[in-house]
Chains A and B, each alone.
Chain A
Amino acid sequence: MTAMKTTSATPGAPRKGRIRPRGERGPLASVALHVTLLIASAVAVLPPLWLLVTSFKPKSEAFSTALVKDFTFGNYDHVLNDTEFLSWVGNSLFVVGLTTVIGVFISATTGYAVSRFKFPGMRPLMWLLLITQMFPVAVLIVPLYNLLASMELLNQPMGLVLTYLTIAVPFSAWMMKGYFDTIPVEIDEAGRVDGLNPFGTFWRLIMPLAKPGLAVTGFYSFITGWAEVAYASAFMTGEENLTLAGGLQTFVNQYTSDWGSLTAAAVIVAVPAAVIFGFVQRHLVSGLTAGATKS
């Protein structure tokens, strides 16, 4: 590296325009870089920031351009005490939590089998999981609606749990496969030598090692369900049955526009999600793309 630096910085090099080694740049380039990144960051941060600011304004001032004017917690007070917001949170937590637990649990075994064994039917299974992930809502929504109606599960949280499993299971199985692929096979073999059968190996050796993978997969299927709109809007009616995505729509629609409550509710929903996201985001993309590239 040092040798190279001297070469490229040698005065009187034959080439026009000095070639800068990586990691070094002129002051002008530095300024341009920081300005570009600052603008991009501003574009990324300002909308959520504006949401936060608006939520502290009195209802009548929701659209005022002043940054802080008549600072108030009124919107939060109203949302928490006078609306069904808390039951929406409860519904969402119940539905999405149950989906995640069931989904991750049953997909873990599949991910393990696909990662470790070669067995007849493996390739079709992987294709099935991949293709199921790209199913548009539009194909399944009508039959699922009729199915839930005939099982009298419409407007029931359990119905939505069943529906969300169609999203969570294929996806979690892929992600878990990607994670199991990173655990050395020698561990399985050691278990086998010690007389464990494949289930014992999986349950006693691999599962404890896969806890971070389970957490990331679980988290990702949680936020996918948390933000799901189409099924929730179609299957749930009646204000107290809604989940968050549906409930927030009742604040601002063609009849009313209560932006104060909407922004306060949105902030309450977004802040915990964003904080947890910050902790796990590093693992998300590797999980997603590893699953897709290693078939």
Chain B
Amino acid sequence: MAVDSGHSVTEAVDARRVHGPGRRNGKPSGNSGRLRRALSTHWYAWAMVAPVVAVIGVIVGYPLLRGVYLSTTDANEANVERTIGVNHIPATYESVGLDNYTAILDDGVFWDRLSWTVIWTVSCVALSFVFGLALANMLNRKLKGRSFYRMALILPWAVPAFVSVFTWRLLFNEKSGILNKILAGGGIDAIPWLNDPTWAKLSVIAVNVWLGVPFMLVAMLGGLQSIPGELYEAAEMDGANAWQRFRHITLPGLRSVSSTVILISAIWTFNMFPVIFLLTRGGPGDATEILVTYAYRLSFVVSPRDFAGSAAWGVLILLLLSLFAVVYRRALRKQGEVW
């Protein structure tokens, strides 16, 4: 993707040419004049982005502010505004300041869930990245049956995720699932795939890696194909062996695309609701509950539903993710990535 930088430079030049006249229009004279000029130059751009800005403002911005507000109250199922039959009951929750946050941060549950979420995210992303990269390298060469392998390997992505998760539950079934039957055939005791805390953790990671590898594979294949073949030829002339070529040409060539897909997939995995929710419902106990599913449990599963607590969890999750994205981008920028 680094090749694109040349393209965007010319594009920036072109874009400037498009409104050349607007910019050259004399010196700025006073604020209102500048505003009017900005309006006449940019009004169509603003008009074009207006619908999206409006939609995001209404259905993301408002709920977000409301969520932040809820997180500083003691709202729960019993005191929010609601209608029972014909009676309308007004909201009676009140502000409690930052109590929800201090309560969450003092409680061990949050830190337990956070550390499992980090383990889950890191292992899922790392494993699917390594598998995806390895398989992409194998596919990126002359090979009989290449398109067959490619199709087979992408299949987990093509099947809707919730369908795959149900399939895995069928395979993992402790009493009569096919996996345990195969093990029994080999004389091994049945493994409680989803009913033992440790096995359940391994199982959800395995399923998520299974789901995530195809995306990595396709992204890496695209990256590999954008590395010019001349580089490899030059390296061969200089006597570099396969490992050296991989280490010094392939990996640097994939830097830009892999940093993007790792960021995307880390965020996806961190927020991966369906796999955990449909595979184990966070169980056994709350062993496989990641932050997102736990926040969901607070507002829709436990009784009484704890809206305020759930909102506070949500805000904390958002803060963590933003922090992660900022740090990650800064680290890339330090290494000379431009985006």
Q: Are A and B bound to each other?
A: yes
A residues near B (Cβ < 8 Å) are 1, 4, 7-8, 15, 17, 19-23, 33-34, 36-37, 40-41, 43-45, 47-48, 50-51, 54, 62-63, 65, 106-107, 109-110, 112-114, 116-122, 125, 128-129, 131-147, 149-150, 162-163, 165-166, 169-170, 173, 181, 185, 188-189, 192, 197-199, 202, 223, 226-230, 233-234, 244-245, 248-249, 252, 259, 262-263, 266, 269-270, 273-274, 277-278, 281, 284-286, 288-290, 292-295
- Cβ of B154 and Cβ of A234 under 8 Å apart? no
Closest 9 A/B residue pairs (Cβ): A138-B295, A139-B314, A143-B63, A41-B152, A63-B176, A113-B48, A277-B158, A138-B314, A274-B158
Q: Do most interface residues of chain B lie in helix, strand or loop, or is the interface mixed?
A: helix
- Among the 9-residue stretches B102-110, B195-203, B272-280, the one with 4 or more Cβ atoms under 8 Å from chain A is B272-280
Residue B122, interface by CB 8 Å: no
- Cβ of B158 and Cβ of A294 under 8 Å apart? no
- Cβ of A278 and Cβ of B158 under 8 Å apart? yes
- Cβ of A119 and Cβ of B46 under 8 Å apart? yes
Task: Using CB atoms, name the residue of chain A closest to B173.
Answer: A63
* Whole-angstrom distance between the Cβ of B306 and the nearest chain A Cβ: 9
Choice from A132, A141, A248, A263 contacting B170 with Cβ under 8 Å: A263
Q: A48-B167, A249-B278, A288-B264 are known contacts. Are A229 and B59 too (CB-CB below 8 A)? A: no
Q: Do most interface residues of chain A lie in helix, strand or loop, or is the interface mixed?
A: helix
- Cβ of B237 and Cβ of A4 under 8 Å apart? yes
* Whole-angstrom distance between the Cβ of B204 and the nearest chain A Cβ: 14
Question: Please, could you name 30 A-B residue pairs with CB atoms under 8 Å apart, sorted by A?
Answer: A7-B237, A22-B141, A33-B138, A41-B148, A47-B164, A51-B170, A63-B173, A63-B181, A109-B52, A117-B19, A117-B42, A125-B53, A129-B56, A131-B325, A136-B321, A137-B296, A138-B292, A141-B296, A141-B299, A143-B311, A162-B59, A165-B59, A166-B60, A185-B15, A188-B18, A189-B18, A197-B44, A244-B162, A252-B166, A288-B219
| Most chain A beta-carbon contacts within 10 A, residue among B45, B148, B261 | B45
